[in-house]
């Protein structure tokens, strides 16, 4: 099962991460994804980022989104940084790698 983020979902996640300086949203293709793209977050502290995101989503009454993220989380190390990614969570329709939306 794949969950497709809405634009509102992505904006909420991005806002939370920016407010806490906890990471940057990217479109990512992780191990064994064979080129499929999903939600990714580049961070230096995987545990703190995920804790902040979970708590803030709960406060925003977005528990369903938080549960979906929790159940599909994976990570790849990139030296100092880590990409936390969610193979079962696709970006909103029309989202491009540069962070823009194409109609």
Q: What is the pLDDT along the chain (103 residues), one digit of tens a residue?
A: 589 999 999 999 999 999 999 999 999 998 888 989 999 999 999 999 989 999 999 998 888 998 999 899 999 998 889 999 999 999 998 887 666 667 6
Give the pLDDT of residue 30.
84
Give the pLDDT of residue 103.
61
Report how far residue 1's alpha carbon sits from residue 14's, in angstroms, rounded to the nearest whole number.
23
Give the pLDDT of residue 93.
86
Phi-psi region of 94 (alpha: psi -120 to 50; beta: other; left: phi over 0): left
Give the pLDDT of residue 99.
66
Contacts of 90 (CB under 8 A, 6+ apart): 2, 3, 4, 5, 36, 37, 38, 39
Report how far residue 48's alpha carbon sits from residue 62's, in angstroms, rounded to the nearest whole number.
19
Give the pLDDT of residue 96.
74
């Amino acid at each position: 099962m794949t969950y497709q983020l809405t634009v509102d979902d992505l904006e909420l996640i991005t806002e939370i991460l920016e407010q806490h300086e906890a990471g940057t949203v990217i479109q990512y293709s992780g191990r064994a994804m064979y080129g499929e793209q999903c939600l990714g977050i580049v961070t230096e502290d995987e545990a703190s980022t995920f804790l902040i995101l979970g708590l803030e989503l709960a406060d925003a009454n977005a528990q369903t989104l938080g549960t979906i993220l929790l159940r599909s989380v994976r990570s790849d190390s990139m030296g100092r940084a880590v990409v936390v990614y969610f193979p079962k969570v696709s970006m909103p329709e029309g989202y491009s790698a540069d962070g823009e939306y194409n109609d």
